Each structure stands twice: as C-alpha cells, then as structure tokens.
Amino acid sequence: MKNFSRGSILSGVVLSVMASSVIAADTTEEQFDPEAFFKQGMKEREEGAPYKSIESFQTILSNKPALHRARLELAVAYMQTLQYQEAEQQAQAVLDDPQTPPSVRVSILAFLAQLKKDAEQLIPQHDHKFNLSAGILFDSNVNVGPSSDVININGDILDITSGQPISDSALVLTAGYDHSYRTGKTLRFGQSTGMLFWQSGATLYNRGYDEEGEFDLTVLSLRTGPAIVTNSKFRGNIALQADHIRLGDEKLANYIGLQPSLTWAYDASTEFTIDAEVTERDFEQETDQGRDSEYYSVGASLGKGYKNNTVGVQAGIEYFNNQAREAEYSNDGWGAYAGINWQVKPEGSVFSRLSYNESEYGGIVTGVGKVRDEEEIQLIIGGKHMIANEFELSLLWMRTEAESNVELYEYERNQISFNVSRKF
C-alpha cells in the first residue's frame, strides 16, 4: 500500500500562483469582501483544512462567478480532497474562458494532465503477492515448547517429564499470500480524505525437528479486513485473524480475533502507532481445556528514521490480560521493547531488538503450590542480504532467558536460524 503523492498537490499550488493574473474586474460590493474570504480559504488550505477551504472559495464564487483566481484555488482544494472530477470541472471552466491568458492556459493543461494521472488511483485494482521461505534452525531448548515469536500461547507448553533442556535442529518452511484490493472508494475523516483498501492474506508455517517430533509446530493463519490510507498524516486498519495451531501430530488450538491498528506520521521519518488485540483462544485437547481464554492487549510504539531513513529506531510498550478458564493459566502483565535496523547497503541490513516481559498468574500451579510470577528477557540480532534482487538471505540469533518463582518455568534458550526467501 502506498501513501498518496504530494507532487500533484504541489503542482496545483504552482498553477494557482501562476493563475493569479486571471482576475475578473473588481466589482466588489460594499457588503461582500471576496479578498477576505480568499485569504481565509488560502489559510485554511495551508493549515490542512481543505474542506473548510472549499467552503470559503465556494462562497466567493456564489457571489463573484467570474473571479477565476478563486475558481483555480478551489480546483486545488478539490484535488487535495481527492475530488478529481470536481477539480477538473473548475479548471476546465477557466480554460474555456477566451479571456484566459495563453501562459495560464499552459499551466491549466498541465494541471489537468496531472489530475487525470492522479485519478487513476481511484480505479479499483487487485494486487497479489506471494512469499516462500525455507531455512534451518538450531534450538538449544526444544522442550520449552513453541516460541512466542511464532505463536503466543498463554503459558508455555513445557515437557515436565524432563528436567534438562533438549537441543535439536529443524527445517523451517513458510509460505505466504497477500491480496490487496484498492476499492476506489474514498472516506472523509474530518479535514482528511482516506482511500479504502481491503487486505487479506494467508500464511502457513511449519517447523519440523529432526528428532523431537512431538515439538513440531504448524501454524495456519488467515486474515482479512479493511484499511484506510489518507492524504494527510494517518493510516489505519482492522484485521480479522484466525489461527490453527498443531503441536507434533496433535491439534493444539484455534485462535480467532480482531487486531486494529492506527498510525500517525509526524513527518517523513517519525511515526507513532497504537494497536490492540482481542482474541478468543480455544484449545483442542482435553488436558488443555483449562487454557481456553479471552486475550486482550493494547500497545503503543514510536519509530524514528535517521540518515535519510537508512537507520531506523523503534520502541514500544504493551499491556496484556489473558482470562483463562482455569486461574492457573490466567495472566496479565506488560512488555516493552527497543530495536534498531541499519540499511548498510541497498542490498543488505543488520538489526537488533531487545524485549522485556513481566507477567503474574491468577492461580496456584498444580502440584507446586505457588502462583507463578515471571520475567522474560529476549535479545535478537540478525542480518539480511539480497542476491540478484530476487532472493533474500537472513541469519538470526535469538537468546531468551526466563526467570520464575516456580523453578519448572525457568529456562534459557538459544535459537539460530538461516533462511532463504523470495517474494513474487
């Protein structure tokens, strides 16, 4: 999805300035001051209120229809609100006036050509993308269970029959499909105009261990929902997502939930995002019925780019609450993270991320007699490199340390992975 281009709007402003010579004879009546409305309309548009600007210029033209300077500024305001047909009508009216100077006609023709080009973004269009990835993984502590970077399970599925970590290697395969439909519809949000998209996708993830097959992980995810991209400073989306999770040869759980997100762009290098999640988690096995839950979270993050956005820094915080059928598996807490990505070369980048999570559980652990209270620190360091602009190679190391007042849930884990992926 792309943000709207500012170039066409700037060209419209240039057109308006050049057309300032196209002014009808001053027949201002004492009770109506078009110049005051004109200054007001220009100020409103420059301050990011194009709809108010439209009202000001329309007021002028309802009293002074021959005042072409106002008509051209109205065309620019219509263009800013993505009302391309109305913008064309206003510019064409000035072009059709035989008294319009030749130099201004040239600018109007350029403006109309830009309008036609911009209007193409309102033509409905489908966009399809595919992604395939294959890699190998070394896991120093397989029996901890599925890692939260793949699927967030409320309470790790631990192998309590073994007190020692088991290491193993695995083959990891991922296939993804994304579909974006540009509807051609626009929506007004205050003084901003948004274009409506519909985004859908599917991802199949499989991690197959060489020896510890009971910890093989398969996740099928489906998602769909609307998205809005505005011509101002924000964009947002709501995704309905369903996940089917298998552990080993058994069905583990089904998730279904809503994930809304809203992003404000303060400038070309700074963004602030608020997101949330509401998910129903349904576990399949009889022994896991107590894990059935309703999961809620809300988070905020801030991203900033430096050195022409080749270096990106991001930090965020999240609060979560997981209400399970049995108090032993209910937990709430918070987490925070900070990360950096450095585009070393056009074809290569390195990145790192440090996160911290803290959670408290709602009930006594069966057979232990304690209520869990845990902290987790995770460090990720990795790099990516493009080959022939088609294949992406990635190398990643993830270190996880978990501390708990229940010894069973304390662990250390190292995961090293190498992947080759391609998008088409």
**Whole-number pLDDT of residue 145:** 75
Instruction: Kindly state the helix (H) or strand (E) to which residue 62 belongs, with its residue range.
Output: helix 50-63
Which of 110, 155, 120, 114 is closest to 326 using CA atoms?
Answer: 155
Mean pLDDT across the stretch 10-18?
Answer: 45
Q: Which residue has the tokens 């108010």?
A: 52
* Contacts made by residues 188-193, CB under 8 angstroms, sequence distance 24+: 188/51, 188/81, 189/228, 189/230, 189/234, 191/48, 191/49, 191/50, 191/51, 191/52, 191/232, 192/230, 192/231, 192/232, 192/233, 192/234, 193/50, 193/80, 193/81, 193/82, 193/230, 193/231, 193/232
At 93, list the tokens: 């009216």
Mean pLDDT across the stretch 300-319?
Answer: 96
Which of 282, 280, 222, 212 is closest to 249 using CA atoms?
Answer: 212
Q: How many other CB atoms sit within 10 Å of the CB of residue 74?
A: 27
* 15-72 residue pLDDT tens: 444 444 444 444 444 577 889 999 999 999 999 899 999 999 999 999 999 999 999 9
pLDDT of 137 strictly over 50: yes
**Whole-number pLDDT of residue 149:** 64
pTM here is 0.84
Residue 142 to residues 28, 212, 219, 349, 413: CA-CA distances in angstroms? 83, 8, 17, 29, 8
Within 13 Å and on the Cβ side, how many CA atoms surround 292?
A: 9
Mean pLDDT across the stretch 203-221?
Answer: 95
pLDDT of 158 strictly over 80: no
**Whole-number pLDDT of residue 28:** 42
pLDDT of 303 strictly over 90: yes
Instruction: Kindly state the helix (H) or strand (E) to which residue 84 belongs, with its residue range.
Output: helix 84-95
pLDDT of 380 strictly over 80: yes
**Whole-number pLDDT of residue 27:** 42
pLDDT of 179 strictly over 80: yes
CB 146 within 8 A of CB 217: yes
**Same CATH topology for 7-122 and 125-423?**
no
Mean pLDDT across the stretch 301-316?
Answer: 96
Architecture of domain 7-122: Alpha Horseshoe (1.25)
Listed by start position, the domains of the chain span 7-122, 125-423
Domain 125-423 has CATH 2.40.160.40: yes
